[in-house]
Amino acid sequence: MSVIQTIPKAPTQDSLYEQASQEYGSALGRLARAYEADPEIRRDLLQDIHVALWRSFAGFDGRCSLRTWIYRVAHNVGASHVEHQRRSRTQILVDLEELDQLPDASSGQPAADRSQAMDRLLTLIQRLKPLDRHVILSYLEGLDAASIGEITGLSAGNVATKIHRIKNLLARQFQQRGEAND
Amino acid sequence: MTDNPNTPLQNLWQSQPVESIHMSIEEIRKRAGKFERKITRRNIREYVSSLIAATLFGWFFVRTHDVFLRIAYVLFIAGLAWVVVQLRRKASSKTLPLAMEAAASLQYFRAELERQRDAVQNVWSWYLAPLVPGFIVMTLGYWHSMPYPKGLIASAIVDVCVAALFYGIWRLNLRAARCLQRKIDELYAAEKS
């Protein structure tokens, strides 16, 4: 009996992009929302992320998972966008420690509905410096500490500290119970 | 994904309505080409401004009969040409290499900051110094072409203004380079801690 073995085709730049777009399209949309509040500019940013992904796949060597690769590229494009916008809008970004100490009028107040909670969460994220923004977004996407370390390049200890701070910050800002749960 | 169940905020985040787009490969290629053209246009703009400045010095050269001033204008044109060559050499460092796009965020930020630091900290050697010989000879030209003490005063005023401008540019860039270096050091520390 002859066994015909088919050698699996190596994924091409185009096929990798198609796969990324299908599997992570929504995550990329959420990520763009965290990097740009203006819907018009956000659409442009999202397109830039897609183009950057497609371009990057020409050099994808499988040394990290497809997910890590996608998040890295998308976050890096988002961070470059924030840096560019910061220069033109003179926006001041803070890190997690500073954000935790800033007074916030809405802090501790329950949000009226999910939409209000979402707006508050986005405002909070958009005030963060890129690296801390990466960590909080990855945490919200449900990634574990090891994956976040792989995406950001931060040491495991540093990621653990940052996640601990994020949890405390979110708990204080959103009152641990009730909110966003209805 | 984490083994732990999602918190309410993670659920809220992941269930938000988002606009996801689908771009065909053709659209992607088209937009990528647009990006390349944008870079080319930026380079052309820089060359054209240098060309305009060189033309202006050329016009001054034709209009004057003073030997010193003529030499000064030639030196300015040569200095500008040198700056353009350096701009071209540095063009590749205006944006990060493509491979860096998929680097871990920390390395990406560091590379970007190092690129910016290198561009500003050497501004004296590639951007300001090539224009200095022209100014020196122009000073001699003023002394030579204008009666004493008018020539001396005029050249002193021009020299002080130019020296102050160059010093200001150099100091600002040095300060920016130091500020960038601090951020780079912070990233190195974040990687190791």
What residues are paired with A94 via a beta bridge? Answer: A128
* Separation between Cα atoms, residue A168 and residue A161, nearest integer Å: 11
Give the residue among A88, A96, A98, A156 at the shortest CA–CA distance from A130. A96
Nearest CA in chain A to B9: A180
**What's the rounded mean pLDDT across residues B97-106?**
79
Mind listing the pLDDT tens digit for each residue in B42-70?
Answer: 778 888 998 999 999 999 999 988 898 89
Tokens coding B179: 């500020």
Of A36 and B119, the one with more pLDDT: A36
Mean pLDDT of chain B: 85
Choose the closest CB to B28 out of A50, A118, A144.
A50
Chain B CB within 8 Å of residue A108 CB: no
Interface test with chain B among A87, A154, A165, by most B beta carbons within 10 Å: A154
Rg of chain B over Cα atoms, rounded to whole angstroms, equals 26
Chain A CB within 8 Å of residue B105 CB: yes
ipTM score of the complex?
Answer: 0.79
Domain range A93-176, its CATH number among 3.40.50, 1.20.1740, 1.10.3470, 1.10.10: 1.10.10
Taking the mean position of all CA atoms in its chain, how far away is CA A84? 18
Domain range A11-91, its CATH number among 2.60.40.10, 3.40.630.10, 1.10.1740.10, 3.20.20.120: 1.10.1740.10
Interface test with chain B among A26, A71, A82, by most B beta carbons within 10 Å: A26
Query: Does residue B51 sit in helix, strand or coil?
Result: helix
Chain A CB within 8 Å of residue B39 CB: no
Res. A7 pLDDT band, cuts 50 70 90: low
With an 8 Å Cβ cutoff, are A121 and B13 in contact? yes
Residue in the block written with tokens 């003073």: B66
* Separation between Cα atoms, residue B10 and residue B15, nearest integer Å: 8
Q: Is the pLDDT of residue B34 over 60?
A: yes
Tokens coding A36: 């740009």
Res. A92 pLDDT band, cuts 50 70 90: confident
* Separation between Cα atoms, residue B98 and residue B96, nearest integer Å: 6
Q: Is the pLDDT of residue A106 over 80?
A: no
Domain-wise residue ranges, chain A: 11-91, 93-176
Choose the closest CB to B9 out of A47, A121, A144.
A121
Q: Is the pLDDT of residue B8 over 90?
A: no
Predicted confidence at residue B1, as pLDDT, reads: 46
Mind listing the pLDDT tens digit for each residue in A36-83?
Answer: 989 999 999 999 999 999 999 998 988 889 999 999 999 999 998 988
Give the residue among A107, A148, A112, A106 at the shortest CA–CA distance from A131. A148
Chain B CB within 8 Å of residue A66 CB: no
* Separation between Cα atoms, residue B191 and residue B179, nearest integer Å: 19
Of A92 and A131, the one with more pLDDT: A131
Domain-wise residue ranges, chain B: 26-94+102-192
Q: How far is B192 from chain A (nearest CA, A)?
A: 6
* Separation between Cα atoms, residue B57 and residue A58, nearest integer Å: 46
Interface test with chain A among B3, B7, B9, by most A beta carbons within 10 Å: B9
* Separation between Cα atoms, residue A170 and residue A175, nearest integer Å: 8
**pTM for this model (two decimals):** 0.75
Mind listing the pLDDT tens digit for each residue in A133-165?
Answer: 999 999 999 999 999 999 999 988 889 999 999
Q: Is the pLDDT of residue A110 over 60?
A: no
Chain B CB within 8 Å of residue A46 CB: yes
**What crossing angle do the helices spanning A66-89 and B105-121 adopt, rounded to 10°?**
40
Residue in the block written with tokens 């290499």: B97
With an 8 Å Cβ cutoff, are A155 and B103 in contact? no
Backbone φ and ψ of A128, nearest 5°? -85, 150
* Separation between Cα atoms, residue B135 and residue B148, nearest integer Å: 19
Chain B CB within 8 Å of residue A38 CB: no
Residue in the block written with tokens 């009996």: A1
Predicted confidence at residue B92, as pLDDT, reads: 55
* Separation between Cα atoms, residue A6 and residue A38, nearest integer Å: 49
Res. B39 pLDDT band, cuts 50 70 90: confident
